[in-house]
Structure 1
């Protein structure tokens, strides 16, 4: 009996030892499965959408090839595309088909929405501006900047403000389109932007005598007062530059539909008047109703963040006590910049340069000379 118990104990110990050795060897030989990064949880419908997106993307063009007939062969990754492994699928993220987007095809639009909201950065920048701007002359020549302008453009200089946070290539493409030696350009780089973004844009700016970074950088938060602060930082700097007639504010994600000469001719027709959208729709009162009555009997308006304003309007914003009081009042409003600019432009009793006289025609505006 004692012999049988001893045999069972020995057998149990041997079995346990063998199992431990096998488990150790298995873990040493077979590497752990690599976890697939998943940007966010997806249901079955989302997976099907991604599968369809993959099928369409494989036949999409890259770099907006308007021929729209380039195909992607199995196993090949075209230049400008990035492969992402998501929910068990190998997703090929490419640039959109411009021809399909312009023609209004829903499939292309929906695919781009899927890619934009699924991946934070669909494709990476290719240009190292710290490298290509080492020789500014070559940079301006190779990138195709327009350095010769008409006498009409020289006589009507413009001032641009660009707010940016990322995508240096896109900002440089915008600058290349709107740049003329007769204009002035202030670029505000969000204080929370990546340091590489700041270095790249600084490299570009140093190649131009009339392009500069704002003297103050704000940590810009969407719909907050910091947006207006960033705009006003550039306004202050631009007022130090002489001669310009009109101020235009942009973000780094925009592109002009007109040439500089066409813009100059349009602004000449305005004859000193501002172009600032405004509405008194009651639904927008929620943006400022918690603030009480505005100062100086100002009637509040909701408008667009983008404005085209004469120099006198910009000077009024930065130096007039009424504008300063109103800026303090809108500080705690929602999207204060979209209340600040239109309200100052549509209160006739303030007599702001370039502003609307009231409920009359668009041509009925205060004008400024020079």
Structure 2
């Protein structure tokens, strides 16, 4: 999780100080030291604390890193403190753009304490072992909050106009793969409709030169979003746009059709992928590509699907007619459908899946 956080924020022009808790397991401390050895702009704090949550040592850990950062040769303009369980919702370029707009001002949450908070500094506290001093958690990280939270699709579109600059800035040239990853290819079907930067971050998190990505964008999406998706596909040789695209209606058949279009295209590519995973543009992977490869290899060709017998409410979805008006979700009517042919029993499940290529090809119907 810490490595993914660094990777998401990584730029050769940035500098990272890691303070690990001295109480952390030896294997964790060793992993942090390993990251620092591999990356020239990442280092371990020269002084490390036995951190007690909500105690002074939590602040002291930050102070130690800040002191070290003031001694490095990098002329950084802003410092941001994070914990290991944080993850940015913005790319480094977006953060740079927003922080430049502050013109040197700080971002801090400060307010007058209420009665409960006053007790934190007006009363004495006792420390026993490694137990927290305070029952109530305190804020550890400073988070950027802006009224305008829309992803600037145009900035991504403009960045992809220069593919070499895009690859360098977003770190695609630095992506490495293990021997196992190079021989265990994964395919992705991405059905997206908004937030271009969020889609790019999803691809970046899952990216490996041995994988292949199909992007299906909603035909109703804004032109700048569609252009940004086309830009990503031009820059990355293993990313392409679905050959047939739908005007997607949420909870309608066109949403399934969008995935089917990508699956059909993925079966035609030269990459011998073993599993395909379908995702939406607002998903984000909690596992690295190497972890996914390791887990999927253990399935031995089996699929991962949620299937179960429908309850009374779910049965209405296929036993009654639905009407479609404009681009709104389908509306249920009271008009009953005829029974399923050939005694087919209907099941319900998730819209998302992990499918084995062998299983997918084995069940591929005509046309």
**TM-score w.r.t. length of structure 2:** 0.54
Equivalent residue, structure 1, for 2:158: 131
SS at match of 1:193: coil
Q: 1:212 to 1:138 in 2, by over 3 A?
A: same
Residue pair 1:163, 1:251 contacting (<8 A) in 2 also: yes
Equivalent residue, structure 2, for 1:289: 319
Cα displacement (A) at 1:124:
4.3
* Residue-by-residue CA offset, 1:197-252 (whole Å, 9 max, x unaligned): 11111111101111000001100001100001100000110000131100100000
Residue pair 1:247, 1:314 contacting (<8 A) in 2 also: no
Q: 1:218 to 1:127 in 2, by over 3 A?
A: closer
SS at match of 2:305: coil
Residue pair 1:187, 1:214 contacting (<8 A) in 2 also: yes
SS at match of 1:233: helix
Q: 1:64 to 1:213 in 2, by over 3 A?
A: farther
Among candidates 167, 180, 184, match of residue 152 of structure 1: 180
Relative to structure 2, which stretch is displaced further, 124-133 or 190-199?
Answer: 124-133
* Residue-by-residue CA offset, 1:293-343 (whole Å, 9 max, x unaligned): 3344332111001100111333355x325xx8xxxxxxxxxxxxxxxxxxx
Take 1:172 and 1:201, find their aligned partners in 2: how far apart are those partners? 8
Take 2:338 and 2:298, find their aligned partners in 1: how far apart are those partners? 39
Among candidates 180, 183, 186, match of residue 211 of structure 2: 183
Among candidates 336, 345, 350, match of residue 304 of structure 1: 350
Equivalent residue, structure 1, for 2:302: 273
* Residues 39-78 of structure 1 mapped to structure 2, 5 A cutoff: 66=82
Among candidates 226, 229, 249, match of residue 278 of structure 2: 249
Equivalent residue, structure 1, for 2:104: none
Equivalent residue, structure 1, for 2:59: none
1:79 and 2:102 are equivalent in the alignment:
no
Residue pair 1:127, 1:169 contacting (<8 A) in 2 also: no
Equivalent residue, structure 2, for 1:320: 365
Equivalent residue, structure 2, for 1:15: none
Cα displacement (A) at 1:126:
7.3
Take 1:126 and 1:297, find their aligned partners in 2: how far apart are those partners? 49
Q: 1:292 to 1:313 in 2, by over 3 A?
A: farther
Cα displacement (A) at 1:64:
9.3
SS at match of 1:206: helix
Take 2:186 and 2:299, find their aligned partners in 1: how far apart are those partners? 14
1:214 and 2:242 are equivalent in the alignment:
yes
Aligned CA RMSD, in angstroms, stands at: 3.5
Equivalent residue, structure 2, for 1:50: none
Residue pair 2:303, 2:354 contacting (<8 A) in 1 also: yes
Residue pair 2:154, 2:228 contacting (<8 A) in 1 also: no
Take 1:124 and 1:135, find their aligned partners in 2: how far apart are those partners? 20
**Structure 1 gap ranges (5+):** 1-62, 69-77, 83-104, 109-114, 325-370
- Greater helix fraction, Structure 1 or Structure 2: 1
SS at match of 2:188: strand
Residue pair 2:157, 2:224 contacting (<8 A) in 1 also: no
Q: 1:301 to 1:209 in 2, by over 3 A?
A: same
Cα displacement (A) at 1:289:
1.5
Take 2:168 and 2:343, find their aligned partners in 1: how far apart are those partners? 53
Q: 1:296 to 1:209 in 2, by over 3 A?
A: farther
